[in-house]
Every structure is written in structure tokens, then in C-alpha cells.
Amino acid sequence: MPLISEIDFGTPASRSEKMVTLTIDGNEITVPEGTSIMRASMEAGIEVPKLCATDMMDSFGSCRLCLVEIEGRGGMPASCTTPVAPGIKVSTQTQRLKDVRRGVMELYISDHPLDCLTCAANGDCELQDMAGAVGLRDVRYGYDGDNHVKARNDGAINIKWSPKDETNPYFTFDPAKCIVCSRCVRACEEVQGTFALTIEGRGFDSRVSAGMHEDFLSSECVSCGACVQACPTATLIEKSVIEIGQPEHSLVTTCAYCGVGCSFKAEMRGEELVRMVPWKDGQANRGHSCVKGRFAYGYSTHKERILNPMIREKISDPWREVSWEEALAHTAAEFRRLQYQYGRDSVGGITSSRCTNEETYLVQKLVRAGFGNNNVDTCARVCHSPTGYGLGATFGTSAGTQNFDSVEHTDVVMIIGANPTDGHPVFASRLKKRLRQGAKLIVVDPRRIDMVSSPHVKASHHLPLRPGTNVAVVTSLAHVIVTEGLYDEKFIRERCDWSEFEDWAAFVAEPHHSPEEVEKLSGVPAEEIRGAARLFATGGNGSIYYGLGVTEHSQGSTTVMAIANLAMATGNIGRPGVGVNPLRGQNNVQGSCDMGSFPHELPGYRHVSDDATRDIFEKLWGVTISNEPGLRIPNMLDAAVDGSFKGIYIQGEDILQSDPDTKHVSAGLAAMECVVVQDLFLNETANYAHVFLPGSTFLEKDGTFTNAERRINRVRKVMTPRNGYADWEVTQNLAKAMGLDWNYTHPSEIMDEIAATTPSFAMVSYSYLEKMGSVQWPCNEKAPLGSPIMHVNGFVRGKGKFIRTEYVATDEKTGPRFPLLLTTGRILSQYNVGAQTRRTDNVVWHEEDRLEIHPNDAELRGVHDGSWVKLMSRAGDTTLRALITERVAPGVVYTTFHHPTTQANVITTDFSDWATNCPEYKVTAVQVSPSNGPSQWQVDYDEQARQSRRIAGKMEAAE
């Protein structure tokens, strides 16, 4: 296993279809028009020396190292900025070029420290490489003159010198080593889109600066790492490389955080992870990353990680460490006892969106074949279940319609209830790039999210609707499109049922859907709704991206249908640049849904009542599968409280922290006799567990994740599981302990079983993924290369279905006691319940959850910025600190839910989506008042948590 080294072509690929033939050093080569001479040379296998160019960014032409000569043209043009021309003859190496290049390098090196042997970039430094490439042998100028290298010149302070900036927890900036190539500045602008870096000064005085002469941590920098990757020297370098040294081998794997599913090279030294570097061939991320995937992997070696199985009789007992055999035998015996005592349906399982497809598949198989019921559910219940329902009903598949590359072809983007810069950062960067090229943006969100206005990006329309009025606003957009005749009749007649369209069109045209009426309940000015609708319908390729702000409502499924209606009515389905795109929260939400994690359907979204489908699995597994739907998570908890549900196997989920109405969840868990938690850490749910099975990280297993664009990406094992087993092995061992004859020796065999039973995965295998890199399902005989875009020649369900979407006000209403609406969300540096990210240096950006409140509401209540407030709802109360901001509208407050001490879900109610029971996280009526400290609930909870985390014979495990 060598270190994977990617070719740097120097400049981005040209998209032109017209080809040009030229000669470089006697080699004839044909490339697309618009390609730089530098890139063409590289494609011919000739590496022209370069410093300021790299293929992630447009060329800049500042270093003058890449000069070439062209026959018949005078001078020495820079190959990175000079495009190819038909028939030209280029020389990359002549005496004249050699002399100039040496001169250039000599100047660079004369202002660069010569501590190469002890430099962290030694062996991975382009400056070093170029000095070697041009044959630099001596440097005539010393540091006696002007320089940036030495703190002092002859005892006097050198004002050109600046100290190292080590404020960012993951990388350092050492200005003394900077060659001012501006690659970092351009990476921050062009790749990341944050514009945090600038070049200050001119000529010899110029230098890189973060923000307005700030340190990195206080600047706008979001720590995506693009500049670090771009830097050719040790100026910007990972702290892990400084500490460990250069890696010696690497494997390509997939980020385990969000649904973008970025590909990374895990660069290793032995079994030690040196760094994660985004992989340029990664189809989702195209060489970019965010702070989480790039840097926040330290949790895998965190001291609080639990490495031994543990059991206890009562949840008030301390944990007792036991062998794997004992833990699994105990669990198996308990589940059998419960089923004997309380019936077959008294136990169930929860699959994880953080685990691999193969692991999820095994958990549902254990429930269906081992427990003999369909009581399996997944955390997608609490995030994207309405997506599956709504898109299934209208289009016929439970998934987004596009690949991420599609954004490069879009003209108008509508973002609804999503905050991509924080939730899906790499997608946000790609979107911003398209917006800077001129695409238009519409944001539908109660908060003024960063996308509404950030450097070089400005939304044409922001519809700051009252939480809970999504259906009204989206239906009103349709009202404008229908009543103003802006719909795409040709598309609808061809692809959809015309009479259903007519029914729907008459429905949305009703006067109570008009923007003027909807303004009254949503608070969005009618003109904004009209403007947004007109822009979306007439602005070219229109795409919709949405998130949990759409799904986590009592009308979540209805909003998804309304979105699908809008896309069909405007003809925006079935080609690049358009489509309906759910932005999935966790890395494998799509995959866990695909793998049959829901209690009513087998892998591939086939209902358990379908005899033919059950037959496939019954034959293969040698069991009878129940044809009745099982319990969903909220139903399991209800049944537990009622006494008919007694045992649960939870893999990689923390339902106590992530699910709504904490008190109800804890009551349900407390009522069970055997709660088995498999996770990395003693999470909140584990406070109620009787068995703890240590889990493994994505670095410790083989498998696949399926991202939000249906892309099946490989996860590769780079180190031995510290807990002894990968999660799929733990499930298999549990199944064996329960008497099932499972003998998978590698996850690839599980994938083979998935492919054999699930039509949309028919062609997927590890060897095929090895060959293809990744594929998007459906991947079968009909689509052997996978399906980047769906519904291309017609909808999967046949005709696209228009469905009436009537707005119904949520039962959760504000009133005199609870006059404010709370909505929840996430931030960039933290992930979900934060169990992983809180155990990394990412905490420097988000130490605690804060309550965002509008200045007017704050003043009315005597709340000051940073002061403690009590947040109360009908369900409960908690305390946290206030953050006064105009990002939220008056009447709305907002918080994140990354920290267990905040217990934001004590506040949320058990209202849920009508179709899927997806909880209504996004709307809770609350009151806010000043407070001086934690609530009694928080104090009690902390004490209970502390007690329940005790491990016999060990010091108290700190959370």
C-alpha cells in the first residue's frame, strides 16, 4: 500500500468539446480548447516547474517558474496562463528557460529559511521539489538584507518578520516560510468561498493575512483546510504532521459525518492516522472538505471511548466489565427470556445512520430473522422519513433526484429549511461557486442563514416565514406559477397525469393560497412570494435543496409533496441542473433507509406485506418473515410505557438525546428490561442501558456509505478496531449467540447478499466499486454505470403525481404563556448530538449551545447577551445562555442541540408528522425568562447520568 499521490495538472480541466492538437517537446498531444499549456504538458507526461499554479484553482501567473518557449513567438510565456493553440510547438526546457528558472528560485530561496531537514513539510514540499527540479545549486544572496525569515536583523527588530500563528487547533501558519504564491488566498475564495484570507501590501512587502490582520481563530476562517492543502510549503501545515511526521501509506475512504459523503485519503504511518486529505477524484466533494471530515477524527482515540463490553442488572448499578462472550450470551439469553415471557413482539432494534450499509442490513436481518418480527427502525425516523414518503408518493423513489455535480448547471436555486454552510459545508462551497458565476438564489427559512448574504453571494429573495408555515408558502409559490401561467405545460403533459395536474392546479389557484392571504399567516411579504415564484419558474434550470427545516414538522411529508409538485409544474426534473434534493443529515441516512431499516419495509423499499419480496428473503434466510408492519421508534416507546415492549438493541444511536420529548423517551427506556447500546461512548441512552457493547469507528472497518446523492462510497479499514471487533462483527456474534447460523467473513459478502436480493443494487459489489470508484443506485442491468440523475425519460412510478397540499396549522400554537416559537438547527463545527465532535478540538468553535433571540424580544424580557435564560415549553424547561442577534425574526428563538447538558429536547414536544411520525423539532411554543443557573431537571439529570456512568473498579468516567 503506497501513499496515493494525485497528479496536479496545474490548472483546471477545460469543459470545451472542441479539441486542439499541438506539439510539446516533440510529442503531439490533443486536448480540449482552453486547456493551458501547463495542463497539456502534464497530460503528455511532462511536468513543467511551477509554484503558484494548482489544478484546484484558476491560474494566476505570479511565480514565473513555469515559463516555456513557443516556436515563432517571442518571449517566454507562463505555461499556466497561456492556452493551447492549434499546431504550436512548445519547448519546456531550453538554456534560456533553465537560466531564468534558476534565477527565480534563487530569489525565492534567499528569503526562505534553510531548515529543510527539521521542517515538517520535508518530503512533501513543492519549494524543495522545484529547487531540485531547476537544479539550484547555490544562493548568492544571504539574509543580511531585507527578509521575512529572521526575527532580528543584527540585533534590531525585523518588522517584516511575523511569529507563527498557532491559534487554529488543527494547523499552523508560519509567515517566515511563505513565498506569497497566493494559492491559499485563492483556495479560500474559489474552493471554499469564505474569503477569509488576503494579501496585504505590495511587492516585497506583501504577505498573507487572515481577515483584517487577525489571527486565524478570530478571523472568518471556518477551518475547511483548503488553504493548507493548497500551500506548497510548510507555511500552512497540519499540526498532526508536525507532531507525527510524513505519512507513508494511504487508503481512500469516506467521511463519517454528513450526507455529502466526501472522499478522503486517510494518510497513515503504520496504524497511526497522520491526516485526512480530501480526494480530488471524490465525486461528491471534488477535492474539498470541511472542518469535520478533514480534522475532527480525534474522537476515535479519545480517552472516554469504551473498549470493553459491560453489563449490569439494574440501571442504578455501576457497570461491570465482562468478556465479549459473556456480554453476548447474556444479551441473547435476555432477549429470548423476554420473548418467552412477553411474546415475540416485545423486542426490537434500531439501526444506525452512522454505520455502514452492511451493518445496517445485518441489524434489520437480526430483527426480522432472529427476533422474528419487524420492530426495526432507524434515526432517519427523526429526520428524513417524510422525504421518503413524499418523494415516493409523487415521483416513485425515496431519494434525491440529482448528483452534486448538477449544481454546476443550475440557474436558480431554492433552499428551503436548510443551512448548507453549516450542515452540508462542501455542498455549500460548490453552490457558492455556482452563485458567484451568476446563478440566482432564493432562501426560504425563518432565520437569516449565512447563505442569504455572505461575501460575493446574495440571495435574490429571502422568505423569512414563521416556523410551521412551509406548506402554505410553498403552495402559494405554486399558486403564483399556476395563476400567472408560468407552468411548463409540455413537460406536464408528457411526464405527468394531466387530469391530476388540473385537479391540483384548481386547488392551488384557490384564493386562500394567494400570496396576499398567505402573508397573513406566514409573515412573508406577498411581493417576495410572487417574486420568488416568478424567478424560479422563469429563470432557467431551477433546483430545490431542502433540509430538516422541511421534514421535521407535523406537515413534513406534505411539504415534501409540495416541493415535488413545484418541481414538476416548472418542468425541473430529469436533467442536470434541476431536481429535488434532500440534504441528508447523517452520513448514511440514505443507506440506512435503503437497507430496510423501517418497520414496514424490506431492503429496497418493498412493503413487508408483499409476498414476492418476503419470499426472496425467506428462502435465503430460511425463516418466515412477519407480513405485519413493526413498531416505529415513538411507538416502541409508547408500547414500553404500556408494558408490552421490553427489550431493544440500539446500534450507534443516542435516542435519549436526539429524539423529542426527553422525558417520554427516558420513561420508555426505564420501562424496558433489557436495553442494549452499541456505541463508542457511554452516550445518554446508555444511562438507561443494561448491556453496553463497544462500537468501532469508520476508520476501523470495511463497508460502504450511501450519501445524499445515492452514491455508494467505500469505507476502508485503516486500523485495527480498538474494541476488538467492527460493528458488523458484533451484530454477527450476537446473532450467533441467538442461534443463527451467520458466517460472513468480510462485509463484501454482505453486499453480495444485498445485491442478490435488492434490484436497485443488483450490479453493486466491492470489486465493481473498486473498478468504478463509486456508483449511484439504481445500479443494475438497466443502468450498469449507476444513475447520477433520476427520472430522465419519465418518472420511476410512471406518471409524476400531483398531490393537493392543504396547509394545516400545527397543534403547537403560541399563546400568552408560550408566546415565542423555538426552532432548532446545527452549526458547522459540531455534528448531530455532538458525541464525536465534542470529543475533538472543534469545541473551540462551539463550547455550548446558545439561545438566539431577537434584540426586541430580549429587551422585553430583560435578557442580556451571554446571560443565562430559562427556556420553557409545555413539555419541560431547561437553561442555557442567550445570544442576541437579528438573524432570527422577532417572535422566533433558535438553538442547536449538540450538547447534552442543554437538553434542548426536554423542551420539544411529541407532536409529529402525520404520515411518518417524524417529530416536529422545528416548532415549539416557548417562553424565555432570565435565570441564574441550571434548572432542577438539569441538576437531577446530571446526577442520574453521573451515577449511571460508574464502572466498577474504575474512576468515574467523566462526560
Partner 1 sequence: MSLDNTNGKLVRMANQIATFFKSQPEAERIQGVATHINKFWEPRMRKAFFELVEQGDAGFDPIVISAAAIIKRPGGPAQPSEASEHIDSAMLEAGFSD
Please give the residue ranges that form the binding site for ligand SF4 (CB under 6 A). 178-184, 187-188, 192, 194, 196-197, 208, 221-227, 230-233, 235-236, 255, 257-258, 260-262, 285, 289-290, 292-293, 424-426
Q: Is 52 in the site for ligand FES (CB under 6 A)?
A: yes
> CA 133 to CA 97: how far, in whole Å?
12
Among 169, 247, 293, 388, binds partner 1 (CB under 8 A): 388
Cβ neighbourhood burial of 892 (10 Å; 0-12, 13-18, 19+):
buried
Cα torsion through 353, 358, 360, 362, rounded to 10: -170
- Beta strand 542-546 with 579-582 is parallel
**Residues in 261-300 at the binding interface with partner 1, rule: CB under 8 A:** none
Binding segment (CB under 6 A) for ligand FES, from list 60-68, 228-236, 580-588, 933-941: 60-68
Whole-angstrom distance, CA of residue 431 vs CA of residue 419: 12
| Separation between Cα atoms, residue 239 and residue 525, nearest integer Å | 50
Which residues 367-426 are close enough to bind ligand FES by CB under 6 A?
Answer: none
Compare residues 51 and 712 and give the one whose CB is closer to ligand FES: 51
Span of 48-56, 385-393, 687-695, 854-862 interacting with ligand FES by CB under 6 A? 48-56
Nearer to ligand FES, 108 or 818 (CB): 108
Asked whether 469 and 521 are in contact (CB, 8 A), the reply is yes
Report whether 822 contacts 905 (CB < 8 A): no
E strand map for 614-667 = 647-651
| Residue closest to ligand SF4 (Cβ) | 293
Beta-carbon count within 10 A of 375 CB: 28
SS3 199: strand
**In angstroms, what is the minimal distance from the CB of 278 to ligand FES?**
22
CB of 184 to partner 1, least distance (A): 44
Nearer to ligand FES, 180 or 415 (CB): 180
Binding to partner 1 (CB under 8 A) within 572-631 occurs at 593, 598-601, 604-607, 609-610, 627-631
- Residue 613 C-beta: closest distance to partner 1, Å: 9
Task: Spell out the alpha helix ranges (H) of 111-188.
Answer: 126-133, 183-186
Residues 779-808 that bind partner 1 (CB under 8 A): 796-798, 801, 803-806, 808
Residue in this structure with the C-alpha cell 398531490, named with its chain if needed: 803
What's the rounded Cα separation, in Å, for the pair 327 and 803?
A: 50
The answer to whether residue 63 forms part of the interface with ligand FES (CB under 6 A) is yes
What lies within 8 Å, CB to CB, of 272 at 6+ separation is 244
CB of 558 to partner 1, least distance (A): 6
Closer by beta carbon to partner 1, 638 or else 959: 638
Residue range at the interface with ligand FES (CB under 6 A); choices 62-70, 152-160, 185-193, 335-343: 62-70
CB 747 within 8 A of CB 356: yes
Does residue 842 interact with partner 1 by CB under 8 A? no
Tell me if 130 contacts ligand FES by CB under 6 A.
no
Beta-bridge mates of residue 546: 416, 582
Residue 50 binds which one of partner 1, ligand FES, ligand SF4, none, with CB within 5 to 8 A depending on kind?
ligand FES
Phi then psi dihedrals of residue 645, to 5 deg: -125, 120
Q: Which does 61 bind (CB under 5 to 8 A by kind): partner 1, ligand FES, ligand SF4, none?
A: ligand FES
Q: CB count, 10 Å around CB of 578?
A: 25
- To the nearest whole angstrom, how small is the minimum distance from the Cβ of residue 12 to ligand FES? 14
Nearer to partner 1 by Cβ, of 489 and 610: the residue is 610
Q: Which three cell numbers mark 912?
A: 409529529
User: Does residue 77 bind ligand FES (CB under 6 A)?
Assistant: no
Contact criterion met (CB below 8 Å) for 422 and 827: yes
Quick check: 671 binds partner 1 (CB under 8 A)?
no
67 or 650, CB closer to ligand FES? 67
Query: Is 83 or 318 the residue whose CB approaches ligand FES more closely?
Result: 83
CA distance 696 to 702: 11
Under DSSP, is residue 611 helix (H, G, I), strand (E, B) or coil? Answer: helix
Residue 467 or 652 having the CB closest to ligand SF4 = 652
- Residue 91 bridge partners (DSSP): 69
CA–CA separation, 912 and 894 (whole Å): 19
Q: Which does 66 bind (CB under 5 to 8 A by kind): partner 1, ligand SF4, ligand FES, none?
A: ligand FES
Number of residues that bind partner 1 (CB under 8 A): 56
* Helices (runs of H) and strands (runs of E) counted in the chain: 29, 38
As a whole number of angstroms, the distance between CA 293 and CA 252 comes to 13
The residue type found at 641 is V
Q: 583 and 420 in contact (C-beta within 8 Å)?
A: yes
Grid coordinates representing 127?
519549494
Among 22, 56, 65, 463, binds ligand FES (CB under 6 A): 65
Residues 316 to 375: which contact partner 1 by CB under 8 A? Answer: 345, 374-375
Residue 62 binding result from ligand FES, ligand SF4, partner 1, none, given CB thresholds of 5 to 8 Å by partner type: ligand FES
Given ligand SF4, ligand FES, partner 1, none, residue 226, with its beta carbon under 5 to 8 Å by kind, binds ligand SF4
Cβ neighbors of 863 (< 8 A, separation 6 or more) are: 853, 857, 869, 882, 884, 928, 929, 930
| Dmax (CA) of the chain | 92
Between 600 and 722, name the residue whose CB sits nearer to partner 1.
600
Report what 522 binds from partner 1, ligand FES, ligand SF4, none; CB cut-off 5-8 Å by kind.
none
* Cα dihedral 794, 798, 804, 810 in deg (nearest 10): -90
Q: How many residues does the chain have?
A: 959
Task: Pick one of 12, 32, 34, 61: the residue that binds ligand FES (CB under 6 A).
Answer: 61
Identify residues 630-649 at the interface with partner 1 (CB under 8 A). 630-632, 635, 638-639, 641-642, 644
Tell how far CA 595 is from the center of its chain: 20
**What does the per-residue mask of binding to partner 1 show for 855-894, with x meaning CB under 8 A?**
----------------------------------------
| CA separation for the pair 668, 650 (Å, rounded) | 14
Residue 393 within binding range of partner 1, rule CB under 8 A: yes
Residue 198 Cβ, how far from ligand SF4 at the closest point, in Å?
A: 10
CA distances from 751 to 349, 368, 483, 603, 766 (A): 21, 18, 50, 12, 8
Options 93-101, 387-395, 453-461, 477-485: segment touching partner 1 (CB under 8 A): 387-395
51/889 with CB nearer ligand FES: 51
Q: How far is the CB of 66 from ligand FES (least distance, A)?
A: 3
Q: Give burial (CB, 10 Å; 0-12/13-18/19+) of 566.
A: buried
553 binds partner 1 (CB under 8 A): no
| Closest listed residue to residue 563, CA positions, set 850, 382, 749, 802 | 802
Residue 108 has φ and ψ, to the nearest 5°, of -60, -50
Name the DSSP letter for residue 685: G
Of 57, 78, 636, 853, which lies in the binding site for ligand FES, with binding defined by CB under 6 A?
78
**Residue 385 lies near partner 1 (rule: CB under 8 A):** yes
- Give whichever of 562 and 566 is closer to partner 1, judged by the CB atom: 562
Stretch that binds ligand FES, among 58-66, 234-242, 401-409, 464-472 (CB under 6 A): 58-66
Grid cell locating 505? 392546479
Q: Which residues bind ligand FES (CB under 6 A)?
A: 50-53, 61-66, 78, 80
Q: Which residues bind partner 1 (CB under 8 A)?
A: 345, 374-375, 385, 388-389, 391-393, 396-398, 503, 507, 554, 557-558, 593, 598-601, 604-607, 609-610, 627-632, 635, 638-639, 641-642, 644, 796-798, 801, 803-806, 808, 811, 910, 912, 914-917
